[in-house]
Amino acid sequence: MNNIKQLVLPAIVTILTACGGNKTDYKAEPLKVTTETVCINNTPHSRTYVGKVEEHSSTPVSFTSMGTVTHVYAEEGQYIAKGQLIAEMDSTQNKNALITTQAMLEQAMDAQQRMKVLHDAKAISDIDWIDVQTKVRTAESNLQMAKKALADCQLKAPRSGIVGTKPLENGMTALPSQPVCTILDITQVKVKVSVPEKEITLFAPSANNPQNITITAEALPGKTFNPIKLVRNVQGDPLTHTYDVFLELKNPDLQLLPGMVVSVSMPIGSETDTNNITVPIQAVQQNADNTHFVWIKKNNKAQRQTVQIGQTQGNRIVISSGLKEKDEVIIEGYQKVSEDSNIK
């Protein structure tokens, strides 16, 4: 028995020693994050809104009577001069009506000449003579209406502009007041902006010179526009609590087109901010008590930093306090860090 103990105990000690010798300390790999170094910008206070370009005016053009459209000469996007022929409808019936009224007028005038001789000879009464004259005037009036009806078979542009929509095509039946096309005036355009009610005072006519507002469009890189007039709607949307603001601006080169999305930069102060620190909006987190914080990198560790936020500037937000120049703010990978996490 003693011999067995002498053999087993050294073996157990050897196994335990071997297991202990292979044990290694576990160390978590640093989390990979992306940071942005804080810098101070001396830029004017401004607020950015999204707007949509609209035409200055839109004129629907239509026939005055019903008929079959035979030709539509206008094309969408085409420039149309005032008086230019836009479309025509079938005029066969109107031409026949004109021939009939011309014949009736000739008949009435012939009767008038013959009756005049009788009236001068006192062979007919004054009443009969007045009846003859009335028939002549009626025939003349009918002839003028027939000429107008024939002329109305040709639709001409009442003003110059760009053709917008064109709902009617050759062979379709046109109804009175049914638009054949719309003519848009885009030598001046309007930019429509929906402004939250708490910010609508910024767009009061007395609060800002419209020419201080800057408008840019992604479709026109390098181009900036300044409005010449600001019109503010006084009735707000009861659902969104926003007010529509219209900025009118000149468009002589017809570069701004209806439907374009633009960025509207509204200055909200004449002085520059000497401590204007901004960070990407997504880097700012919110606590349950509605306070805000960001994660910063310090000595290769993540630290929570409470901040006070200001106005948004596009996809960035102003930090009014809590950060200083050269702080490294975590802008990517912040979702996976916690206090004192090792980061790289």
Query: Which has the closest alpha carbon to 251: 184, 203, 206?
Result: 184
Residue 16: per-residue pLDDT: 47
Is 22 part of any domain? no
Least confident residue range of 17-21, 99-103, 186-190, 308-312: 17-21
CATH of the domain at 241: 2.40.30.170
> Does residue 137 share a domain with residue 123?
yes
Tens-digit pLDDT profile for residues 153-212: 999 999 999 999 999 999 999 999 899 999 999 999 999 999 998 888 888 766 557 878
Residue 270: per-residue pLDDT: 47
> Does residue 262 share a domain with residue 197?
yes
Is 294 part of any domain? yes
Burial letters for 266-298: b for 16+ Cβ neighbours within 10 Å, e otherwise? beeeeeebeebbbbeeebbeeeeeeebbbbbbe
**C-alpha–C-alpha distance, residues 326 and 297, integer Å:** 11
Residue with tokens 């053709």: 163
Half-sphere exposure of 275 (CA within 13 A, CB side): 9
Query: Which has the closest alpha carbon to 201: 268, 247, 263?
Result: 268
Residue 91 has pLDDT above 80, yes or no: yes
Task: Please count the structural domains in the chain.
Answer: 3
> Does residue 259 share a domain with residue 213?
yes
CATH of the domain at 314: 2.40.420.20
**C-alpha–C-alpha distance, residues 136 and 101, integer Å:** 11
> Does residue 319 share a domain with residue 289?
yes
Tens-digit pLDDT profile for residues 208-257: 578 788 999 999 998 999 999 999 888 989 999 999 999 999 998 899 99
Of the residues 236, 270, 304, which one is the last residue of a structural domain?
270
Residue 41 has pLDDT above 90, yes or no: no
Q: Which two tokens stand for residue 193?
A: 């902006």
| 117 Cβ neighbours under 8 A, 6+ residues apart | none
Q: Which two tokens stand for residue 93?
A: 């019936």
Burial letters for 128-144: b for 16+ Cβ neighbours within 10 Å, e otherwise? ebeebeebbeebeebbe
Other Cβ atoms within 10 Å of 67 Cβ, number: 20
Residue 312 has pLDDT above 80, yes or no: no
Least confident residue range of 70-74, 91-95, 100-104, 211-215: 211-215
Query: Coil, helix or strand for 102?
Result: helix
Is 220 part of any domain? yes
**C-alpha–C-alpha distance, residues 190 and 320, integer Å:** 35
> Does residue 296 share a domain with residue 260?
no
Other Cβ atoms within 10 Å of 334 Cβ, number: 21
> Does residue 292 share a domain with residue 320?
yes
Tens-digit pLDDT profile for residues 72-90: 999 999 999 999 999 999 9
Please give the residue range of the domain that contains residue 126: 91-152
Contact 266, 201 (CB under 8 A): no
> Does residue 192 share a domain with residue 262?
yes
Mean pLDDT over each residue of the chain, to the nearest integer: 86
> Does residue 199 share a domain with residue 51?
yes
Per DSSP bridges, beta strands 301-313 and 292-298 are antiparallel
Is 10 part of any domain? no
Is 248 part of any domain? yes
**C-alpha–C-alpha distance, residues 132 and 118, integer Å:** 12
Is 216 part of any domain? yes
Is 230 part of any domain? yes
Residue 4: per-residue pLDDT: 46
Residue 302 has pLDDT above 80, yes or no: yes
Residue with tokens 């900036």: 224
Residue 13: per-residue pLDDT: 46
Would you give the distance in Å from CA 343 to the centre of its chain? 44
Tens-digit pLDDT profile for residues 22-31: 544 556 688 8
> Does residue 242 share a domain with residue 195?
yes
Percent of the chain with pLDDT over 70: 86
> Does residue 211 share a domain with residue 142?
no
Is 265 part of any domain? yes
Sheet holding 173-174, edge to edge: 154-156, 85-89, 67-72, 173-174
Residue 271 has pLDDT above 50, yes or no: no
Residue 42 has pLDDT above 80, yes or no: no
Residue 98 has pLDDT above 80, yes or no: yes
**C-alpha–C-alpha distance, residues 62 and 179, integer Å:** 4
Contact 269, 44 (CB under 8 A): yes
CA dihedral 16, 19, 21, 27 (to 10 degrees): -140
Of the residues 242, 270, 298, which one is the last residue of a structural domain?
270
> Does residue 209 share a domain with residue 266?
yes
CATH of the domain at 99: 1.10.287.470
Length of the chain: 344
> Does residue 196 share a domain with residue 148?
no
